[in-house]
Amino acid sequence: MSQQYFAPAPASTSAKAQRSDWWRDAVIYQVYPRSFADSNGDGMGDLEGIRTRLPYLRDLGVDAVWLSPFYASPQADAGYDVADYRAVDPMFGTLLDADALIRDARGLGLRIIVDLVPNHSSDQHEWFKRAVAEGPGSPLRDRYHFRPGKGENGELPPNDWESIFGGPAWTRVEDGEWYLHLFAPEQPDFNWDHPAVGDEFRSILRFWLDMGVDGFRIDVAHGLVKAEGLPDLGSHDQVKLLGNDVMPFFDQDGVHEVYRQWRLILDEYSGERIFVAEAWTPTVERTANYVRPDELHQAFNFQYLSTAWDAEELRGVIDRTLEAMRPVGAPATWVLSNHDVTRHATRFANPPGLGTQIRTAGDRELGLRRARAATLLMLALPGSAYIYQGEELGLPDVVDLADEDRQDPAYFRGAGQDGFRDGCRVPIPWTREGSSYGFGTGGSWLPQPPEWAELSVEAQTGDPGSTLELYRTALAVRRAQPGLGAGDAVEWLRAPEGVLAFRRGEFVCVANTGGESVTTPAYGRVLLASGEVAEVDGDAKVPADTTVWWTTA
């Protein structure tokens, strides 16, 4: 694969980092710490490994780095079960390592965003351990959701809620009471009606802000507040979470007061720190509630992530997103992959409708071609974009991991019926050689396919047709072109069926999602294309599954 590119004037990432509104059009790179870089040869990525690779991220052209959890944790859910919010898990390093990473990132013009997990703690958190040990009536039980059971002897759960990971959302302790966990039993939900919970998290925010972080990605931001009385679902079912109904355990209006209080704290700090919500809501209009001017800054666009590679569907979700964000003055966000879903190079290699966790490799050449095109489309849209580590290398999911190699806790909870997130979490390759292709010196915690040697950073650097160089070029063009990034609208242009075409100032983007080449006007000078584009007599022939950027200047 190749692309055409005419170099723009250089732009400084560090200059953008000084802008007070940097987050409105930021490109934010997600690092999954255990799979990015290993500094000590134990096969597990760590903070020092990330720190040594920061120059790569600066040169890639991103504005900020979001780190998935690295807190002290028993790892029952890969770090999303936090035992101590003010400590680094030894597998990732120390607080001194975190401090060095934050300082080095700032020196390179990069911002650091850390994960925050406020919906639940680990069952090894000191509060929960004491609540269980002290028994019924312990004041610490009020900081979680402990309840007596139903039935003659309290043998039934307090209500009919089910865990997102399957089975009842309640677990019974030895003294007979039950506690709520919307995820794994090792992840008891906090009771956000208790003032001590709010006090603790405001203190945690200040701890990390004082360390110098630039923001927080809020895990399960829609889940903190539950409906009063914890009512039964009744005729509802879990599937309606992504339909038109709001569940009594998700997206309650009371959660917004929490974020208004948090915003007051954040605004005390200089440098325009930000909040990013992981908020699964029924509609983008509900998502917009989280990013009102006195609440959070951004919210992930899961509707876009789950949209098929189809022009009509994409245009629909783009329009709905921009329309929903405009009244609250928040930027749209766009994302194609993360640590919980199948990489888009594999999703797009398979027929649509299979969901976001896919078990087959599909047509890998087709998937990569579509992934490259989808990336250019995403980066051309107004707002902020998220990149998941390794997607800039065109990495597919590793779908053929042996059962004995799998590590996803959900896989073992589901008796092998679910939990295939390992495929998108395999450590990324840096070099052609070595036991882990440059990830570290002692192998990797998940096995890497041998074909990844030629997908490594080393193999792709300097190859104008590589996916890595496509990303580097796209991010450079995005910084240089005033029509890209910030803004809240696109001007749709007439286009053949299966094609998206829009204008933003002097910039035009055309994305052909169809299976055949199409002819479109040549809108000016080609800035970048995800595949070969031929121009004849004022027209352009755009191949199937290809996106082109033009400038009319």
List the catalytic residues: 219, 268
Count other Cβ atoms within 10 Å, centred on residue 262.
Answer: 21
In this structure, the number of other CB atoms found within 10 A of the CB of residue 41 comes to 12
| Lookup: tokens for 496 | 């053949």
Contact 344, 283 (CB under 8 A): no
Closest Cα to residue 54, out of 71, 75, 39?
39
Question: What are the residue ranges of helices labelled H in 358-451?
Answer: 364-380, 409-413
- 515: which residues sit within 8 A by CB, 6+ positions away? 498, 544, 545
Phi/psi at 551 (nearest 5 deg)? Answer: -120, 135
The rounded distance, in Å, linking the Cα atoms of 125 and 147 is 19
- Residue 326 CA to its chain's centroid (Å): 22
Cα 553 to Cα 494: distance, rounded to the nearest angstrom: 20
Share in percent of the chain as helix, strand, coil (round to 5): 30, 15, 50
Q: Name residue 27's beta-bridge partners.
A: 385
Kindly report the three-state secondary structure assignment for every residue of 76-124: CCCCCCCCEEEEECCCCCCHHHHHHHHHHHHHCCCEEEEEECCCECCCC
Which of 223, 343, 339 minimizes the C-alpha distance to 277? 223
